[in-house]
Amino acid sequence: MAREMFSKFIDWVRNHKGKFFGGILGFLIAILVLNIGFFKTLFIVLCTWAGYYLGSKSDSKENFKDLIDKIIPHNREQ
């Protein structure tokens, strides 16, 4: 009985990955907002996004110096 229910749950998760992980993410953000406040949670989310973004650039073998130059261009003509 329990094994069958678990199997059905796993099948549902496989068919609805976005809903499942979106629900988990929303739940975790709600807990963070209630426990530490909105702005601290926003800071955590922004830092997580920045880490994900930089990591994805690293995975795609993009040069880190070129990425920084795109984000913070400095004027080389003086």
- Measure Cα distances from 19 to 12, 25, 26, 73 in Å: 10, 10, 10, 39
Instruction: Examine the domain organization and report whether 25 and 41 are in the same domain.
Output: no
Instruction: Examine the domain organization and report whether 31 and 42 are in the same domain.
Output: no
* Overall domain count for the chain: 2
Task: Write out the residue range of the structural domain in which residue 26 sits.
Answer: 1-36
Which two three-digit tokens encode residue 57? 């650039």
Least confident window among 33-37, 44-48, 49-53, 67-71: 67-71
The verdict on pTM exceeding 0.75 is: no
Instruction: Examine the domain organization and report whether 66 and 30 are in the same domain.
Output: no
Instruction: Examine the domain organization and report whether 31 and 47 are in the same domain.
Output: no
